Structure 1
Amino acid sequence: MPLAFGWRWRRGAELPAAVKALLQRLTPRPGVLPLPPYMDWCNAQGRFSLRAVRLAAALGHGEAVGVYITQHVARGVRLMSALNALRLPQRQYELAYWLARGLSESQIAQRMGISLNTVVYHRRQLYNRLGASHRIELLTKLGL
């Protein structure tokens, strides 16, 4: 919650206006089509999805509501984080980046200024290092 609604928000504080509006969508009003209990929220920390669901109360009476907050991280940022964690040599890092972005080996050779055979060599080294046998498995290992 603090990431989505600012560092000043804290447990026990009043709910942010966006969450209140989301919770109001769970209460149907007569003659009005209900809005889905889902909304997007953007701020300086990024883009978030908020989803509200009704829950069964723990003691069997009353109502409870759950609010799921999901932060959306751009694919490029996830890729860079995954590659940084692997601590690959520079050429393998660069090759893994372009492979994950979907470039062909000839396009990668052109971008990196090396021969196609060198790209194939570095790709094989990268796959061996990560225990992957093809590009889709590489993407899976990178968490994409």
Structure 2
Amino acid sequence: MTSTSTSARVTLRRLCRLGLPGPVVLPSLLPALRQVVNADHAGFFFCDERGSIDNLYAERLLAPEVQAKYHDQHNDVHFRRHYLSRVQAVRPVSRRSVTPEEREQDYYRDVLQPLGAEHFLYAIVRSGSRVIGQLSLYRGAQGPAFSVRDEEQLQEVLHYLGEALGVPSPPPAKGALDQTVEEGLAVFDADGQVVFADEAWGRLIRLAEGNPITPATAQHEARSLPRFIAAVLEAIDASPQALHRTDTAWGSFAFRRHQLRSTEGLRARGLIVSRLSAEPLRLTEGAANLGLSPRQSDVAVMLARGMTNQQIARELCVSGNTADSHVKAVFHRIGVADRRDVAQRLIQACKR
């Protein structure tokens, strides 16, 4: 196992044990998982006992109208039946690739091709005996098919994923989510029509609205999203200096507006949606981004949480001198001279 893979597993384990609600941790969890098992993108499907999707988070999301078409034409054939068979299988992990016959079907054209998905690695995630849903990892046509080794690597970390995704999902507490880690932008003309939206906008605005994301409800979502956006713009217009924010099961989101004017005098409005991240997530991701060893990463997060060297020694079951050495090594690696600066350094490293 390489040092990179080991560090990725440490980060994944720490994220899974933060005790945060599953939907809140997923945006950080999936990129960490893709460092353990190489994939282009990933998604998680929360499912009920019948195999219907209750909610989902994906790094690449189909537009609501495409999801609605998927539900009407493909859902029973291409998800529920296969999902339930995976739940009943002896092994929780499986893989497959698109077949030549599938490339001739509407499902490939409507769903798989827009997502750039040619190779798949699936895992049924459980919390104890309770089935939570399905993890899906994807590679495109330019990448290799998933291997037996990929299956083994994923199975080795499944129990961590069950710990994280089994945590109940109440709305996150205000004040715990206060730093922007991701933003999306859309530009609206004078009539309120979208004339530009960046890649992150569609996904983030749907998470900010807070409704379940499922193929079955996508048609409703296609109608409710414009109303939600209009309400946000109206609120900002009424109180432009106020903080505009929503808290949903997916986390906390803030909005701000920019007035735009072209050289020809045409007016437009830009709306930025920001996903805010909880401090434990930021510290964990920051430590991972700094390239620390697994032990140094643990010590850095403990320092950022305000733990003393004696507390770190007890936590790691090492001597006080060993803990002192670890702390000095962290200071040297991240370029700080005072333990009070560690948290800020990790938070700075988290920004992406």
Give the TM-score taking structure 1 as reference length. 0.72
Aligned residue among 224, 230, 239 for 1:20: 230
Aligned length: 133
Once the two structures are TM-superposed, the CA of residue 4 in structure 1 deviates from its matched residue by 2.1
> Take 1:38 and 1:17, find their aligned partners in 2: how far apart are those partners?
20
> Take 2:331 and 2:264, find their aligned partners in 1: how far apart are those partners?
54
Once the two structures are TM-superposed, the CA of residue 60 in structure 1 deviates from its matched residue by 6.2
Contact 1:4 1:45 in 2 (8 A): no
Once the two structures are TM-superposed, the CA of residue 56 in structure 1 deviates from its matched residue by 4.9
Contact 2:254 2:275 in 1 (8 A): yes
> Take 1:38 and 1:62, find their aligned partners in 2: how far apart are those partners?
27
Q: Who is 1:88 aligned against?
A: 292
Identity of aligned pairs, percent? 26
SS at match of 2:347: coil
TM-align CA RMSD = 2.9
> Take 2:345 and 2:239, find their aligned partners in 1: how far apart are those partners?
39
> Take 1:110 and 1:103, find their aligned partners in 2: how far apart are those partners?
11
Contact 1:46 1:73 in 2 (8 A): yes
> Take 2:343 and 2:239, find their aligned partners in 1: how far apart are those partners?
37
Q: Who is 2:336 aligned against?
A: 132
Question: With CA pairs under 8 Å and 6+ residues apart, which has the higher RCO, 1 or 2?
Answer: 2
Aligned residue among 191, 195, 202 for 1:2: 202
SS at match of 2:269: strand
Q: Who is 2:190 aligned against?
A: none
SS at match of 2:271: strand
Aligned pairs for 1:1-144 within 5 A: 1-6=201-206, 16-25=226-235, 34-36=238-240, 38-53=243-258, 55-59=259-263, 61=265, 63-144=267-348
> Take 1:23 and 1:91, find their aligned partners in 2: how far apart are those partners?
47
Contact 2:309 2:323 in 1 (8 A): yes
Once the two structures are TM-superposed, the CA of residue 101 in structure 1 deviates from its matched residue by 0.9
Once the two structures are TM-superposed, the CA of residue 35 in structure 1 deviates from its matched residue by 4.0
> Take 1:20 and 1:114, find their aligned partners in 2: how far apart are those partners?
57
Q: Who is 2:65 aligned against?
A: none
Deviations 1:47-102 (A, max 9, x none): 2111234x252246464322221110111111111222234233222111100111
Once the two structures are TM-superposed, the CA of residue 44 in structure 1 deviates from its matched residue by 4.9
> Take 1:63 and 1:87, find their aligned partners in 2: how far apart are those partners?
45
> Take 1:128 and 1:56, find their aligned partners in 2: how far apart are those partners?
45
- For structure 2, list consecutive stretches of 5 or more residues without a partner in the other structure: 1-200, 207-212
Larger strand proportion, structure 1 or 2? Answer: 2
Go from structure 1 to structure 2 and tell me whether the alpha carbon gap of 1:104 and 1:66 turns closer, same or farther (over 3 Å shift): same
Once the two structures are TM-superposed, the CA of residue 104 in structure 1 deviates from its matched residue by 1.5
Q: Which is worse superposed, 90-99 or 34-43?
A: 34-43
Deviations 1:11-34 (A, max 9, x none): xx996322201222355xxxxxx4
Structure number, greater radius of gyration: 1
SS at match of 1:16: helix
> Take 1:16 and 1:65, find their aligned partners in 2: how far apart are those partners?
15
Give the TM-score taking structure 2 as reference length. 0.33
